[in-house]
Amino acid sequence: MPLIGIHKRFEAHILHRKITTDTSEFKYYDIDDKGRMIIKKLYMDPFMDMCNREIISYGISQGPSAENIMNAYSL
């Protein structure tokens, strides 16, 4: 399927015609082996269908990467 430009027209009237994604970073705290609090991060890549605003797939990883995005898209 050819790529379709959004051009600031975010509405879609056909399912799976326009699908968007964004990477979000979430920070959380964990305790290491020595009892110290450390900050960790997770990255979420949701895919949303712009027709009905449904999340159709997502991926979560410990680091941002194109591989995680492509794995989430293929689900």
Is the per-residue pLDDT at 71 higher than 90? no
1 vs 55, more confident? 55
pLDDT digits (tens, 9 = 90+) for 11-20: 888 998 888 8
Is the per-residue pLDDT at 41 higher than 60? yes
Residue 66's pLDDT band (cuts 50, 70, 90): confident
The answer for residues whose C-beta is within 8 angstroms of residue 72's C-beta and 6 or more apart is 21, 45, 46, 47, 57, 58, 59
The answer for residues whose C-beta is within 8 angstroms of residue 71's C-beta and 6 or more apart is 59
Report d(CA 34, CA 32) in Å as an integer. 5
| pTM of the predicted model as reported, rounded to 2 decimal places | 0.72
C-beta separation of 68 from 57 below 8 A: no
